[in-house]
Chains A and B, each alone.
Chain A
Amino acid sequence: MTRSSARRGGDHDVTGPASVPWPLGIPALVGAAFLLVPLAGLLLRAPWGSLGGLLTDANVAEALRLSLVCATTATVISLVLGVPLAWVLARVRAPGMTLLRALVTLPLVLPPVVGGVALLLAFGRQGVLGRLLESWTGITLPFTTAGVVVAETFVAMPFLVVTVEGAFRAADRGYEEAAATLGASRLGVFRRVTLPMVAPSLGAGAVLCWARALGEFGATITFAGSFPGRTQTMPLTVYLALESDPEAAIALSLVLLVVSVVILAVLRDRWLRAGSAA
């Protein structure tokens, strides 16, 4: 009886197969609704008519531009530093490597606001490195656009490192041996064999890193503050606009939602490929 009622209940579930036992089916339905209803709400409440005007508003456009520039810069820095780091973590056998791997991936689980505090203590005007940096070059990072990039890189780079490290680990070393017997130097092997072979994971890691940087909020507001045109990225603008200009907040949220959907679509294939290689 329970089974037949579950089957009838299954008729309402458009995605599930017909024979889902109800103790699984009902929570699954509630869970899916919980995740989807807020997004639907966003779409329903969106000021579709005035969307064009809202997005071309000087403040909004400025936040959009700043976000794209900072997230892209953070991704480039992450690639330049993170790929070699991933290679070292995957290939170098030295005592303490496991600990180092755990520490560099810590920002993955660290509350971003804690990351921001840590950055302030390191790179702030009174920070360990910040003081040296200011006395040598006159540059200060907190509350500048560069500070936004630093905060975003700190939070997003581990996503790239973890993805690419897995790919380096899974890559067939046989090809590298073959390259060595053909006369390629160790750097040549890395550049011409290892890197091209992990390219799909590299792409996936970079997109993931960029998406994380784009959405960064906690570390950015802590370390760089929220100055329009200088450090006020989209997530910050959304948060602040909720009180003053809710329609603008919704419009910006829609932009971020669209970006997320696009990234999901792009990553779906790459992600699976990278996952099967790992």
Chain B
Amino acid sequence: MIVDSRETSATLAVDGVVERGDFRLAVSATVAPGEVLGVLGPNGAGKSTLLRALAGLTGLASGTIRLGGALLDGEGVFVPPEQRSVGLVFQSYRLFPHLSVLDNVAFAPRSRGLGRRRSREVARGWLERLDLTELAGRRPAQVSGGQAQRVALARALAADPGLLLLDEPLSALDAGTRLDVRTLLRRHLEFFAGPVLVVTHDPLEAMVLCDRLLVIEGGRVVQHGTPASVARHPATEYVARLVGLNLYAGRLDPSRSSVALDGGGDLAVTPTAEARGSDRVLVGLRPSAITVHTVRPEHASVRNVWPGTIESLELLTDRVRVNVEGTPSALVDVTPGAVAELGLGPGQAVWLSAKATETDAYPESATSRHTAEVSRA
């Protein structure tokens, strides 16, 4: 299959502020051609606002958006969406209900001024590339969620955009379809040579689809890095939750072997060389590295032992995640067998233990500091 790519692909550079009522989003990022940047963040963090600003559906309050040499917004310039050549795949896809799949995809070529027949030819090419040919004559209401997602992608790509934006591309799908569509989407994104932004709050989606991640919380960028580095060393509690880690912020004590946690309590750690030099650190602790006991454990080898109360239990596929309230609180993974054996249930007093060697202490970065303080409050 021939990869249809623009010969001239340009880098996206955004550095600006978007305001919507009381909400303020400040973001600065660059995305190279062919690169997929994942924008991760909780609801209301400003992810969709960022996409709307890039597409021209919302103006910047200050700053600039550039695509290659072209200034799209800022410095007194505002290029309206229809002149931006920015493709946006909406969360709910927004396929035109009154047009067939073919004519939905032919919409952009028609808007460029191509004739009806020529536009449909272009559209057929995209339907073929995305394995949608047999759906050409159907209405959007007659295709499945996964197919609608592909049609929306085909429609955006048929506009031959210089920048592609995907707003939570898989969130409208059920869990089963999501897996297939995610794999396909990764492959289909290779048809596009320009920069891509994918908004998501699904960590797996972010890991599979993206080359780099930008984490936004409360209108600010709190972390930026490769999926692996973000997953290993989350900068905020939100990211830690996403990747299934317990995360604690605190102050490394002078002995360099213990951290006084901001939320109370302390943890014995074995800090990395990098963390030894810093005062403020984050401590990551995997839920599977913590052990639950119904009585206080007596083994002296385990340095972290603390009491707590079970708040809730949640069955994951092959294990049970126990939410324990304590100082500090923690998520703990146990086997369903252990739950039965120990008779664990909400409201029960338990003891937790974790080896110092299981902790991962790393320096708190400047960007994460603010959020760490906020989430502590």
Binding site for B on A (CB under 8 A): 174-175, 177-186, 188, 192-193, 196-197, 199
Contact = CB atoms under 8 A, between A and B. Distances in A.
6 contacts: A179-B111, A181-B57, A181-B86, A183-B82, A196-B99, A199-B98
B351 interface: no
Contacts of A177: 57, 81, 90, 94
A184 B107 contact: yes
A188 B112 CA distance: 11
Interface in B51-109: 55-57, 80-88, 90, 92, 94, 96-99, 107-108
Contacts, number: 66
Contact of A178 (B56, B85, B86, B96): B96
A98 to B, nearest CB: 23
A264 B87 CA distance: 45
Most B CB atoms within 10 A — which of A177, A185, A193, A197?
A: A177
Nearest to B97: A197
A101 to B, nearest CB: 26
Contacts of A186: 82
B159 interface: yes
B57 A180 contact: yes
Top 4 A-B residue pairs of the complex, sorted by shortest distance between their CB atoms: A183-B111, A178-B94, A182-B108, A180-B81
A181 B111 contact: no
B111 A182 contact: yes
Contacts of B47: none
A188 B107 CA distance: 10
B150 interface: no
Contacts of A179: 96, 107, 111
Contacts of A188: 82, 111
A196 B94 contact: no
B96 A185 contact: no
Interface string B338-377: 0000000000000000000000000000000000000000
A24 B186 CA distance: 65
A190 to B, nearest CB: 12
Given A174-B90, A180-B56, 15 more contacts: A175-B97, A179-B107, A179-B111, A181-B56, A181-B81, A181-B88, A181-B159, A182-B111, A183-B85, A183-B112, A185-B82, A186-B82, A188-B82, A192-B110, A193-B96
A196 B156 CA distance: 21
B201 interface: no
A193 B111 CA distance: 12
B286 interface: no
A192 B108 CA distance: 11
A180 B84 CA distance: 10
Nearest to A193: B96
B62 to A, nearest CB: 23
Among A177, A182, A196, the most chain B Cβ lie within 10 Å of the Cβ of A182
B155 interface: yes
Contacts of A180: 56-57, 80-82
B92 A183 contact: no
A195 B291 CA distance: 63
A178 to B, nearest CB: 4
Given A178-B90, A180-B80, A183-B82, A196 B98 contact: yes
A192 B98 CA distance: 10
B111 A197 contact: no
A197 B94 CA distance: 13
Contacts of A181: 55-57, 81-82, 84, 86-88, 156, 159
B159 A183 contact: yes
A197 B95 CA distance: 12
A243 B56 CA distance: 69
A182 B107 contact: yes
A188 B156 CA distance: 17
Nearest to A195: B98
A196 B139 CA distance: 14
Interface string B252-266: 000000000000000
A276 B287 CA distance: 50
B159 A182 contact: yes
Contact of A175 (B80, B94, B108): B94
A178 B151 CA distance: 13
B92 A174 contact: yes
A183 B97 contact: no
A184 B80 CA distance: 11
Nearest to B99: A196
Nearest to A184: B111
Contacts of B81: 177, 180-181
Contact of A182 (B56, B92, B155): B155
A174 B94 contact: yes
A171 to B, nearest CB: 11
Contacts of B94: 174-175, 177-178
Interface in B196-237: none
Given A178-B94, A196-B98, A183 B88 contact: no
A197 to B, nearest CB: 6
Nearest to A179: B107
A181 to B, nearest CB: 5
Contacts of B156: 181-182
B55 A197 contact: no
B52 to A, nearest CB: 9
A276 B57 CA distance: 28
Nearest to A180: B81
A199 B99 CA distance: 13
A183 to B, nearest CB: 4
B231 to A, nearest CB: 32
B82 A192 contact: no
Most buried by B among A177, A178, A179, A180: A178
Q: With a 10 A CB-CB cut-off, give which of A174, A177, A178, A181 has the most chain B CB atoms.
A: A181
A177 B55 CA distance: 10
Contacts of A183: 82-83, 85, 108, 111-112, 159
Interface string B151-172: 0000110010000000000000
